Amino acid sequence: MTFSYIIVGAGSAGCVLANRLSENPDNTVLLLEAGGPDVNPDIRIPARWGYLMRTQVDWSYQTEPQVNCNNRVIDWNRGKVLGGTSSINAMIYIRGHRWDYDNWAHLGNEGWNYDAVLPYFKKSQNQERGASDLHGVGGLLNVADVDHFSPLSDIFINAGVEIGTPKNDDFNGDTQEGVGRYQVTQKNHERHSAAMAFLKPALNRPNLTLETHAHTTRALFEGQRAVGVEYVHDNQIKEARAEREVILSGGAINSPQILLLSGIGAAEQLRQFDIPVIADLPGVGQNLQDHPLLPLVYAAVTPPGRDTSLTSPAYFEYLRSKTGYFTENLPTIGGFFKTRPEYELPDIQIFTTYASGGEPFDFGLYVSLLRPKSRGYLKLRSNNPFHYPAIQPNYLEEDDDLQTFIDSIRLTRKLAQTQAFSGFLKAELAPGLEKQSDAELAEHVRAMLATTWHYSCTCKMGADAMAVVNSELQVHGVDGLRVVDASVMPEVIGGNTNAPVIMIAEKAADMILQGA
């Protein structure tokens, strides 16, 4: 089989690319997805996304033991299904701060400053609030307001205003700082994943071929040019050829793994596993970044409850009329805060949600560290493409990250101790108000730190010795091969990563079609 383009991974980026590249009937496109179709009904129902973890639609990765987190192994969930993680995430639509993209350009990536990428955010978007200078309508991705809110929503917003944080009705507007209600990637009160938004409308095109349960094992080369891929499908090893380009969109874990298996990476690591070296790129799998997440958990005066089981009356209400709290993405509200007033940018994101599924607490306030200084890596365990790579995020390796979390606990407590929370809050269960010193709060951080699922930066763009792709997302040292996904971020943006990945793919599609 020969195609113009082969796209590996039908996640957020891959679905966008498949749509845009196949718009031209002269292009033939093969899209390979290791997971299966997005038929699990919980994918559609906003409040049920938590039930998708550790199922067939989840890669169910785990980190290496985290030395600075009591040697704990931390679950890293990733979508293994059409739509990728956009089919299992909390649907929050956040672009990040203007500074993030201007910083990418400052790091040597021409064309990635905020003013240059904004048109691609707008292109993808159908903003239900209407068009503006910063928002688009008519795009394929529906961006909506959640229209069912718990009492906790107003409590949180009022608490933020009470401690001097402005109310913010649009975190993707002129300013990011503030408290408010999230917008979500939903349409008609259902999840609007990248598969639903971009892939499904294109599947009837005769020039687009989709294969699910197709696990790509490596890119194929003639000399220094990528000419196709090898993959396993129906228990058979198959090959497909690409006349123009192979595009890896497997995300921050799978894309560097495929590069390494293909002979692109640190030569020493490749030789260790008898993989012939195509290009010695030491940055492949390095620079791993994530937004670590910390919960503070509480008991309420009157436990509010959110029964999201399939026996809940709210479930049947949702089936009947698409109303009620099953339309919520659960973390419906949040905010961007500065732990220190002298900071130019928000450095933490706080959101709240009710507990569900029998947890021994009523609600949580969750802190996500937006600009962590710790850097990790990913490396092969073997040359077997079905062996999961070793994932080492090095959480809290930098002392500044731990101190920011300690500061964030104190800020979060200010929220919880406001008049707004006074009639709702019963007790702080963890870490517990008896713990006040830096050392005691650090114990809570090390014991409870998790992930916000924003894995990125393992194939960073740039021109330095550790860069993997250039500013056109072409892999250094070879021809015919690009990476288009969260792994190309040189630094993780200060916010949720799904909308930025869709933007990256929109911009990449334009570059590819224009011959860049």
Active site residues: 454
Task: Give yes or no for a contact between 298 and 416, defined as CB atoms under 8 angstroms apart.
Answer: yes
Tell me, what DSSP letter sits at residue 166?
P
The phi-psi region of residue 432 (left if phi > 0; otherwise alpha if psi is between -120 and 50; otherwise beta) is: left
Tell me, what DSSP letter sits at residue 197?
I
Segments in 449-497 forming alpha helices (H): none
Residues 6+ apart with CB under 8 A from 263: 218, 221, 270, 275, 276, 277, 278, 279
Tokens of 62: 């785990």
Tell me, what DSSP letter sits at residue 26?
T
Burial (CB count <10 Å: 0-12, 13-18, 19+), residue 437: exposed
Match 């670590």 to its residue by tokens: 292
Tokens of 45: 């129902």
Task: Give yes or no for a contact between 371 and 294, defined as CB atoms under 8 angstroms apart.
Answer: no
Per the omega criterion (within 30 degrees of 0), is the bond before 431 cis? Answer: yes
Tell me, what DSSP letter sits at residue 498?
H
Element (H, E) at 254: helix 251-261
Residues 6+ apart with CB under 8 A from 363: 152, 297, 298, 300, 304, 352, 353, 354, 355
Residues 6+ apart with CB under 8 A from 51: 42, 308
Q: Which amino acid is at 456?
A: S
In order, the DSSP letters of 285-352 are: TEEEB--EEEEEEEEESS------STTSHHHHHHHHHS-SGGGS-S--EEEEE-SSTT-SS--EEEEE
Tell me, what DSSP letter sits at residue 79?
B
Q: 41: helix, coil or strand?
A: helix
Tokens of 381: 């365990």
Measure the CA–CA gap between 121 and 502, rounded to whole angstroms: 8
Burial (CB count <10 Å: 0-12, 13-18, 19+), residue 322: middle
CA 15, 89, 412, 397 torsion: positive or negative? negative
